[in-house]
C-alpha cells in the first residue's frame, strides 16, 4: 500500500475530517477575499461612468485631495439633481465616500471631509 501525502493528517493526532474542515474554511476565506476584491474593482469601474454635471470636477478635486472643493462640488451637484439623476448621484457619493474611507487612516483632512459629507447627507 502506497500512502499519498494527501491521505496523511498534517498534524499528529489530527483526523481526516478535521483536515477537511480546515480546508473548507480556508477555501471559504479565500473565496470571500476574491469576491470582495472583485466587487471593489467593479465599483471603481462603475464610478468612472458617472454622467452628472459637475461630477468630473468633484472627482478631479478628489484626486488632488482638495476635500473642500469636493464638498462644495457635491453640494452643487446635489442642488441641481432631477429625480432621474438620483442613481447617478448615489454612484458619485459612493465613489467619494469609498476614496475618503481608504484615505482616512493616513490623512486627517480626509477624515474631517468624510464627517462633513456625512453631515451634509444627513441634512444637519
d(C-alpha 62, C-alpha 110), whole Å:
10
Confidence (pLDDT) at 99: 95
Angle at 90 between CA 81 and CA 44, to 5 degrees: 130
Burial category of 95 from C-beta neighbours within 10 Å (exposed 0-12, middle 13-18, buried 19 and up): buried
Would you give per-residue pLDDT tens digits along the chain (124 residues)? 555 555 555 556 655 665 566 665 555 655 555 555 555 544 454 445 788 999 999 999 999 999 999 999 999 999 999 999 999 999 999 999 999 999 999 999 999 999 999 988 887 5
The answer for residues whose C-beta is within 8 angstroms of residue 47's C-beta and 6 or more apart is: 59, 91, 92, 94, 95
Q: Which residues contact 85 (CB under 8 A, 6 or more apart)?
A: 52
| Rounded distance between C-alpha atoms, residue 72 and residue 6, angstroms | 61
Question: What burial letters (b/e) apply to 53-90, b meaning 16+ CB within 10 Å?
Answer: ebbeebbebbeeeebebbbebbeebbeeeeeebeebbe
Q: What is the pLDDT of residue 67?
A: 95
Alpha carbons 66 and 56: distance in angstroms, whole number: 14
Amino acid at each position: 500500500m502506497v500512502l499519498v501525502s494527501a491521505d496523511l493528517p498534517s498534524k499528529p493526532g489530527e483526523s481526516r475530517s478535521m483536515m477537511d474542515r480546515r480546508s473548507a474554511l480556508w477555501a471559504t476565506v479565500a473565496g470571500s477575499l476574491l469576491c470582495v476584491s472583485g466587487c471593489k474593482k467593479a465599483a471603481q469601474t462603475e464610478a468612472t461612468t458617472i454622467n452628472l454635471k459637475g461630477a468630473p470636477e468633484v472627482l478631479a478635486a478628489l484626486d488632488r485631495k482638495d476635500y473642500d472643493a469636493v464638498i462644495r462640488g457635491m453640494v452643487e451637484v446635489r442642488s441641481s439633481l432631477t429625480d432621474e439623476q438620483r442613481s447617478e448621484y448615489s454612484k458619485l457619493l459612493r465613489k467619494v465616500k469609498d476614496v475618503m474611507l481608504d484615505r482616512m487612516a493616513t490623512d486627517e483632512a480626509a477624515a474631517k471631509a468624510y464627517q462633513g459629507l456625512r453631515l451634509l447627507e444627513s441634512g444637519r
